[in-house]
């Protein structure tokens, strides 16, 4: 590399760093990306970063369940068309999951989120069930986007359980074709970014600004320098480079190994604490969706093994399918390994957190 090129790279890095620091957020953080492999080998990975136990368990939810938006008398209603396997937050919210058609949905923190005022002009939908509505209702990202663009409901949010701060999230969707969409609410307006090229999503700033900041690092090149902190924009840059730098494997298990290595690379060390940022989040768990084989992998930071759920082995039928739960324990410290589909136990459905009216 020439001296001029090195100087240019350093200048770009300095400019990028200044921009990143301007958007520094000590709040909760997560990362999501989609691997686009050969032969429809599509894999979506995400990390869940939170400063305390998010009380996650895994659930099997069959077709035919009638849902209520939990927003009072004028609540949005629907019936689950597809069965799904989901990871909950506090067992009151669907934070991540995949349905039997191979559609994946993920909720990540976005402090800039500002939702429309719930003025009863449209039915309300609790933010706790936002991802579940998508999993229940659609086979593809294109279908989901077409429905969401019509804005059939108003998202209604409330405080994080046990905390005095508003829940502010954005939604990512991916499917077995590799299509992606990012749904945000900015200034009270819904904004949808829909394109197969939108492989990566993290947290602040908003998605359009994430793309702009990432352009700096594309000019530098990932083999020269990559940002290494746990800030959202740094994780975005690293995930964007690595997800397209890893081999496009024909072998599905090797592709999974590469994807796991990337999501671990953008994770935050467990228990990380610094005087400057006492509330920094640690990666609590990771999920990886093999869309083609319909496998849902789960990896806790506190257990030695990765395990998976095989959706092909689950009865999602409306008539014979059962709601089932896999108890992950406090801080997700229960150990499972290999195919854990048979370890789920029948349970009463969890209730989505909504407005107290």
Is the bond into 209 cis (omega within 30 degrees of 0)? no
Burial of 85 (0-12, 13-18, 19+ CB in 10 A): buried
Q: Which residues pair with 191 in a beta bridge?
A: 184
Active site residue 30: yes
Burial of 18 (0-12, 13-18, 19+ CB in 10 A): exposed
**DSSP 8-state assignment for residue 238:** H
Select which of 20, 27, 29, 30 is catalytic: 30
Burial of 196 (0-12, 13-18, 19+ CB in 10 A): middle
Report the distance separating Cα 138 and Cα 80, nearest Å: 9
Token code pair at residue 292 = 């083609």
DSSP letters along 66-101, please? EEE--SSSSB-EEE-SS-EEEEEETTTEEEEEEETT
SS3 per-residue string spanning 301-343: CCCCCEEEEEHHHCCCCCCCCCCEEECCCHHHCCCCCEECHHH
What values do phi and psi take at 182, rounded to 5?
A: -120, 125
- Measure Cα distances from 35 to 32, 72, 219, 269 in Å: 10, 40, 22, 23
In three-state secondary structure terms, 146 is helix
Catalytic positions are 30
């Amino acid at each position: 590399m020439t001296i001029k090129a090195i100087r240019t790279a350093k200048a770009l890095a300095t400019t990028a760093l200044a921009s990143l620091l301007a958007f520094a957020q000590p709040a909760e953080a997560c990362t999501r990306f989609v691997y686009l492999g050969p032969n429809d080998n599509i894999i979506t990975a995400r990390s869940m970063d939170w400063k305390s136990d998010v009380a996650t368990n895994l659930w099997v939810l069959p077709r035919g369940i009638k849902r209520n938006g939990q927003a009072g008398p004028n609540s949005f209603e629907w019936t689950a068309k597809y069965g799904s396997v989901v990871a909950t937050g506090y067992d009151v919210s669907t934070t991540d999951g995949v349905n039997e058609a191979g559609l994946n949905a993920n909720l990540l923190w976005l402090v800039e989120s500002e939702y429309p005022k719930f003025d009863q002009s449209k039915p309300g939908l609790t933010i706790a069930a936002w991802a579940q509505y998508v999993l229940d209702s659609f086979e593809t990202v294109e279908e989901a986007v077409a429905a969401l663009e019509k804005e059939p409901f108003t998202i209604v949010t409330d405080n994080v359980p046990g905390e005095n701060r508003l829940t502010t999230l954005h939604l990512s969707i991916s499917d077995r074709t590799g299509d992606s969409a990012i749904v945000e609410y900015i200034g009270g307006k819904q904004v949808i970014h829909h394109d197969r090229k939108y492989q990566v999503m993290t947290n602040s700033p908003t998605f359009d600004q994430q793309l702009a900041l990432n352009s700096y690092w594309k000019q530098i090149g990932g083999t020269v320098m990559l940002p290494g902190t746990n800030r959202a924009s740094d994780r975005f840059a690293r995930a964007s480079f690595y997800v397209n730098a890893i081999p496009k494997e024909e072998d599905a298990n090797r592709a999974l190994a590469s994807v796991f290595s990337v999501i671990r690379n953008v994770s935050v060390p467990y228990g990380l604490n610094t005087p400057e940022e006492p509330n920094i989040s640690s990666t609590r768990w990771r999920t990886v969706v093999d869309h083609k084989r319909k496998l849902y992998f789960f990896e806790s930071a506190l257990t030695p093994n990765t395990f998976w759920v095989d959706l092909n082995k689950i009865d999602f039928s409306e008539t014979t399918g059962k709601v089932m739960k896999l108890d992950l324990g406090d801080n997700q410290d229960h150990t499972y390994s290999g195919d854990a589909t048979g370890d789920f136990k029948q349970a009463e459905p969890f209730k989505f957190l909504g407005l107290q009216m």
